[in-house]
Amino acid sequence: MNIIENLEQEQIAKLTEGKNLPDFKAGDTLKVHTKVKEGDRERIQVYEGVCIARKNDGLNSSFTVRKISFGEGVERVFPLYSPNVAKIEVARIGKVRRAKLYFLRALRGRSARIADDLSARAKANSDKA
């Protein structure tokens, strides 16, 4: 491991202190709690949608979340280790066979649904018990 990778690992450790980043992948429905600054106040806004892509690139890791807002598709790219991302929750575990779900951009309604991964949900429930 070279010096730059060591520095990146230290930064990642510093940024994830006190944060619990869950394991998620494309197809999962996420609730991303982001810090929004309005004037001198700061509040938390929840953005819920389907993760359509995840880029694992060390400190530059990011993920894309897509949701339908008032009939219009909206996508947002979140840096994984951003201090503005307060919390990430996995609402549903989706069963997909692709790493990037860009084809969902062309689909509407029922055809854009993602099936639940029941085996992963059962495993998660057995781990909690």
For the entire predicted model, the pTM comes to: 0.83
* Cβ-Cβ contacts under 8 Å for 42 (sequence gap 6 or more): 35, 36
Terminal CA-CA length for the chain? 39
What integer is the mean pLDDT of 71-75? 89
> Nearest 5 degrees, angle CA 20-CA 22-CA 24?
160
Q: What is the mean pLDDT of the chain?
A: 87
* Cβ-Cβ contacts under 8 Å for 54 (sequence gap 6 or more): 24, 25, 26, 61, 62, 63, 64, 99
Checking if the pLDDT of 2 tops 80, the result is yes
Band of the pLDDT at 128, cuts 50, 70, 90?
A: low
Which residues are paired to 68 by β-bridges?
73
Instruction: Tell me the domain boundaries of the chain.
Output: 3-128
Strands (E), 18-115: 29-38, 41-55, 62-69, 72-79, 85-92
Q: Give the domain 3-128 fold.
A: SH3 type barrels. (2.30.30)
Quick: pLDDT tens for 3-51: 988 998 888 888 888 888 888 999 899 999 999 998 899 999 999 999 9
Band of the pLDDT at 129, cuts 50, 70, 90?
A: low
